[in-house]
Amino acid sequence: MAQLSEDAKVFGPLMTIEQAAALAAERISPVSGIETVPLERADGRVLAADVAAPRDLPPFANSAVDGYAVRFADLAPSGDTRLPLSGRVAAGADAAGLIVAGFAVRVFTGAPMPAGADTVFMQEDVAVEEGFVRLPAGLKLGANARPAGEDVATGAPVLAAGRRLRPQDLGLLAALGLTEVAVRRRVRVAVFSTGDELNEPGTPLPPAGIYDANRSVLRALVARAGAEVIDLGILRDEPSSLGQRLRAAARDCDLILTSGGVSTGEEDHVKTAVTQVGELAFWRIGIKPGRPVAMGLIDGKPFLGLPGNPVAVFVTFAFVARAVIALLAGTTPARPQALPVRLDFPYRKKAGRREYVRVSLAPGADGIAVASKHPRDGAGILTSLTETDGLVELAEELTSLAPGAIAPFFAYDLLTV
């Protein structure tokens, strides 16, 4: 508690994730530019305009089952009804000209309903006799018959602008006969790492060097968020050139995303460079791992500086950067759905900071999954991400939890889409 209090005296209070998101929303507008793409290339894209149904879905009344179509008015009020057969209609066939009044028509799933027919008996409920069918009592008017427009009526709104398209959305558009859709252009995100100690994987490693893992993480996360990656490599700790590189990135991209160099150390130059060529909106969030997160504007383009440790990069991207990309893409940032889990470990933390704990899940006897903490929780331990299932979120006001406590859990799969 004492350390946080001293930080607050020097740097001001830590910002919550929600406060940071509100500040970002005030400063970010969606990218301009709309393009029309075929449906096969529209998955994950953001819809640029509302879509209304150009036709009914289904386009004609049809049978929901294999069975026999009749007029409800021809059924006996009580007891079985015996009707002669007048024909047969398969899916894709034409039902025109079939006599329905006083008759039954053999139909199959998806077959058009003969004119006048309004009810379908399932074939397993019907007794078939030579040229006749015996229909049981008790079926309701309209049973097993799908009217035209049952799913969507002509002119009805089906998808709203700002929606990130999913496979089921594309299926709906295809069912309505559409082959292409207007979407916002992809957000272009400049990604680079900072630090003299970093080296490209595959190159000789000097004695005090490490390979750059953060850019690999960020490139994949940015792509999964639906944006276009502009990889700018590694920036060295050269204060005189950092500002120029940031401004150059702002000319070509919609978001500048860095890792490292935004803390308070003497060799953390990125934050200073941003203040020289732009403005900072915030740079400290009450989150662990990942407190040093900087956001600002450079020549009108948003800048987001994430911490240097890879676990902190992952966590801050999931809860901060994803929302920024969503705003730029023209869609509403959505908080992933959390599931309740039961902790099998005790935990102590400082108040005033939201913590994310890496855990693995196992089935619980009562249906609630049991979360086990990874034995190593340093912000530089990459295996703590690869060997776990997701993150348990512990709220700012909490200071201790006992085994058996219930906490919200975010699966990695939901944090990386």
Q: How does pLDDT run across 175-205, given as a tens digit for each residue? A: 999 999 999 999 999 999 988 889 999 999 9
Q: Residue 296's beta-bridge partner residues?
A: 280, 303
Q: Alpha-carbon distance 143 to 241, whole Å?
A: 73
CATH of the domain at 307: 3.40.980.10
- E strands along 279-343, which residues? 279-282, 287-288, 294-298, 301-306, 339-343
The pLDDT, as a whole number, for residue 271 is: 74
Instruction: pLDDT band for 249, please (50, 70, 90 cuts).
Output: very high
What backbone phi and psi angles, to 5 degrees, belong to 74?
A: -85, -5
- Based on the domain organization, do 180 and 42 belong to the same domain? yes
The pLDDT, as a whole number, for residue 238 is: 73
The pLDDT, as a whole number, for residue 268 is: 55
- Based on the domain organization, do 139 and 268 belong to the same domain? no
Q: Is residue 98 one of the residues assigned to a domain? A: yes
Q: Alpha-carbon distance 59 to 408, whole Å?
A: 44
Question: Among all chains, which residue has been given the structure tokens 């009044």?
Answer: 101
- Based on the domain organization, do 42 and 29 belong to the same domain? no
Q: Is residue 130 one of the residues assigned to a domain? A: yes
pLDDT digits (tens, 9 = 90+) for 35-46: 999 999 999 999
pLDDT digits (tens, 9 = 90+) for 297-335: 999 999 999 998 999 999 999 999 999 999 999 999 988
Question: Among all chains, which residue has been given the structure tokens 């894709």?
Answer: 92
CATH of the domain at 46: 3.90.105.10
Mean per-residue pLDDT of the chain = 91
Q: Alpha-carbon distance 236 to 231, whole Å?
A: 15
Q: Is residue 112 one of the residues assigned to a domain? A: yes
The pLDDT, as a whole number, for residue 263 is: 53
- Based on the domain organization, do 194 and 323 belong to the same domain? yes
Two tokens, residue 224: 């999964």
- Based on the domain organization, do 105 and 217 belong to the same domain? no
Domain housing 405:
339-415
The pLDDT, as a whole number, for residue 9 is: 44
Q: Would you say residue 11 has pLDDT above 70?
A: no
Split into its structural domains, the chain has a count of 4
Of 85, 117, 146, the domain-final residue: 146
- Based on the domain organization, do 219 and 125 belong to the same domain? no
CA angle 199, 304, 379 (to 5 degrees): 55
Q: Is residue 22 one of the residues assigned to a domain? A: yes
Mean pLDDT, range 136-143, rounded to an integer: 95
Two tokens, residue 377: 């929780």
- Based on the domain organization, do 49 and 27 belong to the same domain? no
pLDDT digits (tens, 9 = 90+) for 336-362: 899 999 999 999 999 999 999 999 999
- Based on the domain organization, do 199 and 267 belong to the same domain? yes
Q: Alpha-carbon distance 377 to 382, whole Å?
A: 10
Instruction: pLDDT band for 3, please (50, 70, 90 cuts).
Output: very low
Q: Is residue 167 one of the residues assigned to a domain? A: yes
